[in-house]
Amino acid sequence: MTDLLVVGAGTMGRGIAQVAAAAGYTVHLVDATAELADAGRARIAAGLHDGVHRGKLSESDRAATLARIHPSVDLAAAAAGIAVAIEAVPERLELKREVFAHLERDAPASALLASNTSSLSITELQRGLRSPERVLGLHFFNPVPVSPLVEVVRGADTGEHAIARGLELVARLSKQAVVVKDSPGFATSRLGVLLGLEAMRMVEEGVASVADIDRAMELGYRHPMGPLRLSDLVGLDVRLDIARELYRKLGREQFRPPAILERLVAEGRLGRKTGAGFYDWPDAVPEPAAVLEARTPRRGGRALDAPPGGPSGPFSPEPA
């Protein structure tokens, strides 16, 4: 069986669907409405088209990859006959538990069931399921097609067989795996989010401009992308959800979401996906387009605290 189900056709679901289809899986891409599922596939199509245009992909690979992606709104029908399901719905425990309950009911008993959660407990997701041993975390990174890492997360009830199958899947998708114990934020989000939150507090305190804080980490620490630009790319709403979860779980002040993050999300400035966040993203294009280009991230435009140059004063948002 080579059918793979992706639940959620957002930023991550689209990327996972694309790499799975490129690796030869027949992919069922499910979202809450037919429009969203179709839009997800259309955005993948646009990205693949862009890839051909840039010479990164052959026309025949584009067509074959796209032909393997089937959008759907019917989770039960899409789950029948799959070998693997990966959910990439928003970071809310109850929503994900609901999705897993459906998957357990509708997917074959042999199917591997995975969550792309960044911060929720796999063990909590397993609770109440009849076959928790086949549930694990497969934490992909954004943008999925060019990010080499997948964290394979072992929940309290995850079976060895599921871990072995997860590792096999990761290899088939041409990614590299690290196996981590189920703990808040796993090995990556805990450190990555912390850096982003501290950078936001530095913006609030006027320590340096948005662009200079990013440049400091890019040039001083050789990070490929500064923490604020990365937060814009991930999505500020996603970052906020994760920060809240880590704060709740770890109870440490450094994970308390900064006011600036709460405010930007409340204003709908979610980063690149809405065209503005800590930076303006005037040339924001469907994410799949970005994933096929070189690893150098697409540069955003004006930073939140522009004009560029010296450190800004205390944070004062410009009108969006």
Tokens linked to 185:
């934020």
Tokens linked to 312:
């800004």
By CB under 6 A, tell whether 125 contacts ligand NAD.
no
Binding ligand NAD (rule: CB under 6 A), the pick from 89, 107, 243, 270 is: 89
Pick the closer one to ligand NAD by CB: 260 or 290.
Answer: 290
Binding ligand NAD (rule: CB under 6 A), the pick from 1, 35, 77, 90 is: 90
By CB under 6 A, tell whether 72 contacts ligand NAD.
no
Burial class (CB in 10 A: 0-12, 13-18, 19+), 134: buried
- The answer to whether the beta carbons of residues 115 and 12 sit under 8 Å apart is no
Binding ligand NAD (rule: CB under 6 A), the pick from 8, 166, 258, 297 is: 8
By CB under 6 A, tell whether 211 contacts ligand NAD.
no
Q: How far apart are the C-alpha atoms of 183 and 118, rounded to whole Å?
A: 11
Pick the closer one to ligand NAD by CB: 13 or 209.
Answer: 13
By CB under 6 A, tell whether 91 contacts ligand NAD.
yes
By CB under 6 A, tell whether 270 contacts ligand NAD.
no
# residues near ligand NAD by CB under 6 A: 26
DSSP category for residue 272 = G
Give least dist CB 278 to ligand NAD, A.
Answer: 15
Give least dist CB 273 to ligand NAD, A.
Answer: 7
How far apart, in Å, are the Cα atoms of 183 and each of 87, 98, 156, 249?
19, 21, 10, 9
Residue 121 DSSP SS3: coil
- CB nearest ligand NAD: which residue? 10
Binding ligand NAD (rule: CB under 6 A), the pick from 11, 18, 26, 65 is: 11
By CB under 6 A, tell whether 23 contacts ligand NAD.
no
Could you give the dihedral angle defined by the CA atoms of residues 124, 130, 136 and 142, in that order, rounded to the nearest 10 degrees?
Answer: -70
Using the contact rule CB under 6 A, the part of the chain among 58-66, 88-96, 218-226, 290-298 near ligand NAD is: 88-96
Could you give the dihedral angle defined by the CA atoms of residues 305, 309, 310 and 313, in that order, rounded to the nearest 10 degrees?
Answer: -20
Using the contact rule CB under 6 A, the part of the chain among 4-12, 58-66, 172-180, 215-223 near ligand NAD is: 4-12
By CB under 6 A, tell whether 36 contacts ligand NAD.
yes
By CB under 6 A, tell whether 7 contacts ligand NAD.
yes
In sequence order, what DSSP letters do the residues of 160-205 get, joined into one string?
Answer: HHHHHHHHHHHHHTT-EEEEEES-TTTTTHHHHHHHHHHHHHHHHT
By CB under 6 A, tell whether 194 contacts ligand NAD.
no
By CB under 6 A, tell whether 234 contacts ligand NAD.
yes
Residue type at 14?
R
Using the contact rule CB under 6 A, the part of the chain among 5-13, 159-167, 250-258, 290-298 near ligand NAD is: 5-13
Going through the chain in order, the beta strands assigned E by DSSP cover: 3-7, 26-30, 69-72, 84-87, 112-115, 135-140, 149-154, 176-181
By CB under 6 A, tell whether 12 contacts ligand NAD.
yes
Binding ligand NAD (rule: CB under 6 A), the pick from 71, 235, 258, 288 is: 235
Q: How far apart are the C-alpha atoms of 30 and 37, rounded to whole Å?
A: 6
Backbone angles phi, psi at 99, to 5 degrees: -60, -45
Binding site for ligand NAD (CB under 6 A): 7-13, 30-32, 36, 88-91, 95, 116-118, 139-142, 234-235, 238
